[in-house]
């Protein structure tokens, strides 16, 4: 029970790594604000069962990351709960694959809007809530493509690289206030996003890994749990690869 | 407690002042505690107190007790 008594905010919790993080956080005793773009009946049933089984509170918060007003309303909803927020996990993201010369400015801006600008905006709001108690942990989900590059993924890789630079800057600014900020760089993880990747890109990345297989969302969630919990209380400003040994 | 009392109390608590004396004439960086870090603690306290979320431009413009009062009023807080 690494997170008993803690309250976490998780974006992108509807599926993939976000859903796996939701589950491992609940099983470790955290109360959770589960942020997602939309709430469907299946997800509502899932969080109802999970919260009941784990004896924690899970509150869905729905907003579109492309809508700044909606992001602010989502943060206000969390603020109004009057709970101290201990953990923020930024998982929500979007991918757009195209070779460098095929990337339109519109697509590039949209990818940055979702993967970077909205993450910064939401983190500004939520870390302001953390300032009151003078402690907190933020985990940003980046990607190994941000560190290594990957043909066909200019928009995604660049936006995730920006998130790493922001992580390092935020960690320096917020450390004096007791807030740690770290990033994870997952490799090829079995999610809807990587299922939609062109097969040649996915195969090439898997072939480069020591473990020669895709990772599973709960294998990333374990690393998120480590960075969110006090197990990593002397760790900030770091980027940890969870990639099966690529590079 | 009135809103102006709550507003003043946020300054006292954020900057760990002994009392309210001189609070109304405070300006950004006019005291050691109101530096960039103290500024964000003040903003966090005001947001919590009045259940609002300030726009970044307003956080930047929040340069004094009086200016802050004008800004908070924009968020439908009767100050």
CATH number of domain containing A152: 3.40.50.720
Catalogue the E-assigned strands of A91-238. Answer: 136-141, 179-186
State yes or no: pLDDT of A230 exceeds 90. yes
Place of tokens 């413009």: B61
Question: What angle, rounded to 10 degrees, do the helices at B3-14 and B36-50 form?
Answer: 150
Q: Could you tell me which residue, A96 or A181, shows the higher pLDDT? A: A181
State yes or no: pLDDT of A193 exceeds 90. no
Question: CB-CB: which of B40, B41, B51 is closest to A80?
Answer: B51
Best A69, A74, A78, A79 residue to mutate vs chain B (most B CBs within 10 Å): A79
Judged by a CB distance cut-off of 8 A, whether residue A101 touches chain B is no
pLDDT band at A238 (very low <50, low <70, confident <90, very high): very high
Domain that holds residue A97: 7-241
pLDDT band at A164 (very low <50, low <70, confident <90, very high): very high
Tally of domains in chain A: 1
Long-range CB contacts (< 8 A, 24+ apart) of A40-45?
A: A40/A14, A43/A14
- Cβ separation B53–A131 shorter than 8 A: no
Which range is least confidently modeled, A23-37, A91-105, A214-228, B56-70?
Answer: A91-105
Is there a catalytic annotation at residue A156? yes
pLDDT in the model for residue A198: 79
In a domain, A226, yes or no: yes
Question: How many CA atoms lie within 13 Å of A115's alpha carbon, on the beta-carbon side?
Answer: 25
Q: What is the ipTM of this complex?
A: 0.85
Is there a contact between A182 and A229 (Cβ–Cβ < 8 Å)? no
- Judged by DSSP in three states, A240 sits in strand
Question: CB-CB: which of A79, A125, A131 is closest to B40?
Answer: A131
Catalytic entry in A125, A156, A226, A234: A156
In a domain, A247, yes or no: no
pLDDT band at B55 (very low <50, low <70, confident <90, very high): very high
pLDDT in the model for residue A145: 93
Closest chain B residue to A120, measured at CA: B56
Q: Write out the two tokens for B68.
A: 């802050």
In a domain, A2, yes or no: no
- Cβ separation B48–A176 shorter than 8 A: no
The set of residues, in sequence order, having a beta carbon less than 8 Å from that of B55 and lying 6+ positions away, is none
State yes or no: pLDDT of A247 exceeds 80. no
In a domain, A1, yes or no: no
Exposed e or buried b per residue across A97-115, where buried means at least 16 C-beta atoms within 10 angstroms of its C-beta: beeeeebeeeebebbbbbb
pLDDT in the model for residue A137: 98
In a domain, A172, yes or no: yes
pLDDT in the model for residue A210: 95
In a domain, A16, yes or no: yes
pLDDT in the model for residue A71: 96
- Find the mean pLDDT for residues A71-97: 93
State yes or no: pLDDT of A67 exceeds 80. yes
In a domain, A103, yes or no: yes
In a domain, A88, yes or no: yes
Question: What angle, rounded to 10 degrees, do the helices at A217-228 and A16-27 form?
Answer: 50
State yes or no: pLDDT of A65 exceeds 80. yes
pLDDT in the model for residue B34: 95
pLDDT in the model for residue A140: 98
**Mean pLDDT value across chain A:** 94
What domains can be seen in chain B, in order of their start residue?
3-73 (1.10.1200.10)
State yes or no: pLDDT of A197 exceeds 80. no
- Cβ separation B56–A124 shorter than 8 A: yes
Q: Could you tell me which residue, A207 or A89, shows the higher pLDDT? A: A89
Q: Could you tell me which residue, A97 or A120, shows the higher pLDDT? A: A120
């Amino acid at each position: 029970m690494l997170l008993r008594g803690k309250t976490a905010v998780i974006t992108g919790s509807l599926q993939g790594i976000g859903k796996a993080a939701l589950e491992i956080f609940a099983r470790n005793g955290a109360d959770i604000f589960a942020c997602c773009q939309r709430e469907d009946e299946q997800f509502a049933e899932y969080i109802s069962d999970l919260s009941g089984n784990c004896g924690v509170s899970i509150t869905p918060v729905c907003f579109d990351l492309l809508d700044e007003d909606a992001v602010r309303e989502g943060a206000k909803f969390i603020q109004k709960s009057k709970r101290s927020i201990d953990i923020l996990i930024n998982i929500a993201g979007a991918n757009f694959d195209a070779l460098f010369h095929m990337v339109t400015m519109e697509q590039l801006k949209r990818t940055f809007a979702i993967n970077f600008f909205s993450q910064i905006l939401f983190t500004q709001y939520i870390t302001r809530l953390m300032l009151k108690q003078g402690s907190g942990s933020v985990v940003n989900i980046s990607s190994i493509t941000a560190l290594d590059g990957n043909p066909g993924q200019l928009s995604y890789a660049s936006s995730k690289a920006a998130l790493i630079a922001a992580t390092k800057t935020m960690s320096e600014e917020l450390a004096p206030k007791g807030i740690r900020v770290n990033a994870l760089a997952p490799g090829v993880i079995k999610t809807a996003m990587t299922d939609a990747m062109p097969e040649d890109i996915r195969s090439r990345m898997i072939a480069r890994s020591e473990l020669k297989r895709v990772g599973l969302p709960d294998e990333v969630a374990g690393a998120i749990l480590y960075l969110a919990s006090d197990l990593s209380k002397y760790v900030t400003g770091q980027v940890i690869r969870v990639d099966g040994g690529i590079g | 407690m009135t809103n102006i009392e709550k507003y003043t109390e946020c300054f006292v608590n954020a900057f760990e002042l002994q009392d309210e004396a001189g609070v109304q004439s405070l300006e950004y960086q006019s005291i050691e505690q109101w530096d960039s870090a103290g500024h964000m603690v003040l903003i966090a306290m005001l947001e919590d107190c009045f259940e609002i979320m300030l726009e970044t431009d307003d956080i930047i413009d929040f340069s004094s007790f009086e200016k802050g009062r004008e800004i908070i009023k924009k968020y439908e807080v009767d100050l």
